[in-house]
Structures are given as C-alpha cells and as structure tokens.
C-alpha cells in the first residue's frame, strides 16, 4: 500500500539511562532488514551515552492519516562501520560538515559559536570533514516485541503483538485496546 505521508520514516526513539530514567526524541529510520531497524546519529549525544550504558530501546511510529501506530522494542548494537560510511558518504556536503561541526547534546555558548565552527571547518578543514567522524554512525534496533495498532470505530482498536521466543519463533497475540 502507498500513502503520501510526510516524514513517514520519523519515529520516536525511547532510551533509558542505566538507572532507569527514560528519555525520548524523534529520529529518522534509514533502513531495515533481518538485522533490525537502523538510524544514524552522534555516538557522543545523550542517546549515545544512554545506549552505551543500557543498550535497549523502543521505536514508535505514528501515522495519523492511517490511524496506525507501530511500536517495537529490543536490543541495540552499533551498525557496521561500512554501513555507516556508506550512508554518511551519501549525505550532502553540508550535512557531512554539520556532523563534524555540532557536538550534539552538549551545551554550547551561542548559535554564533555553532555557525563559526561550521564556517571554520568549511574553510580550514574541508578535506578532513568529508569522511565520517568517528563519533557519528548508525545503531541497529533488533526487536523482540512488535505491536501493530490500528484505529477502529468505537475505540475497539486492533492491537496485534508479535513476541520473539527463545526458539526464535514469533508468537502472535491480540491485546485489548
């Protein structure tokens, strides 16, 4: 089925610190296959620190026009360096420089500082900024639970839960809405 939704690959990424404080933000899904669901970010960001301490995450998609939610949770690992390189190299030059220029999630003194940092990298270090920074790359979420939610009349929505068992087989159950 095709739909013309904007940012159809935007999803909430929920993580938590080692002591259980939850956090969440939107990231873009950039790929999925038998290994899991891949997004790209700064490994030194808040989410990067949380995933280092506690490599578990949930992803939540919501498409209002379809009245659909998909929610999945599982273990998180780093994407292969070759996958991160390939995606980084496919990005426009400005985005590549931005990945070097912005210490994501750190406190910075001003917008001006950020713009100057970008300008400095553009003029001084162009050759160096075209390859992937060591602090930037992909994460792969390998789900062990996936719930598909479909809005239906009278709040009698469908909720179908897939759970991965120890035998690597998926159990499929219906949950009350």
Cα–Cα dist 118/120, whole Å: 5
Return the structure tokens found at 80.
């292969």
Dihedral angle of Cα 73, 35, 139, 167, to the nearest 10 degrees: 40
Let me know: does 158 contact 149? Beta carbons within 8 Å.
yes
Nearer to ligand FMN, 105 or 150 (CB): 105
To the nearest whole angstrom, how small is the minimum distance from the Cβ of residue 160 to ligand FMN?
Answer: 27
Output DSSP code: residue 75: E
Nearer to ligand FMN, 74 or 137 (CB): 137
- State the residues that interact with ligand FMN by CB under 6 A: 7, 10, 23, 25-28, 39-42, 45-47, 104-105
Nearer to ligand FMN, 41 or 129 (CB): 41
Let me know: does 15 contact 59? Beta carbons within 8 Å.
no
Question: Alpha helix (H) ranges present in the chain?
Answer: 46-53, 81-90, 93-101, 111-124, 126-129
Nearer to ligand FMN, 7 or 19 (CB): 7
Let me know: does 72 contact 143? Beta carbons within 8 Å.
yes
Nearer to ligand FMN, 15 or 129 (CB): 15
To the nearest whole angstrom, how small is the minimum distance from the Cβ of residue 152 to ligand FMN?
Answer: 28
Cα–Cα dist 48/139, whole Å: 9
Output DSSP code: residue 125: -
Nearer to ligand FMN, 23 or 158 (CB): 23
């Amino acid at each position: 089925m095709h739909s013309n939704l904007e940012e159809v690959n935007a999803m909430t990424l929920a993580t938590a610190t080692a002591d259980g404080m939850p956090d969440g933000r939107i990231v873009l899904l950039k790929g999925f296959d038998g290994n899991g669901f891949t997004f790209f970010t700064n490994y030194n960001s808040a989410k990067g620190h949380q995933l280092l301490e506690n490599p578990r995450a949930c992803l939540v998609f919501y498409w209002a026009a379809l009245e659909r939610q998909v929610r999945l949770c599982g273990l998180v690992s780093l994407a292969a360096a070759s996958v991160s390189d390939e995606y980084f190299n496919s990005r426009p030059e400005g985005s590549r420089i931005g990945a070097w220029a912005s210490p994501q999630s750190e406190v910075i003194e001003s917008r001006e500082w950020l713009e100057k940092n970008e300008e400095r990298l553009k003029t001084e270090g162009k050759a160096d900024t075209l390859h992937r920074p060591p602090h930037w790359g992909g994460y792969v979420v390998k789900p062990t639970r996936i719930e598909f939610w479909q809005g239906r009349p009278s709040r009698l929505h469908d909720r179908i839960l897939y759970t991965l068992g120890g035998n690597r087989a998926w159990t499929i159950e219906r949950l009350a809405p």
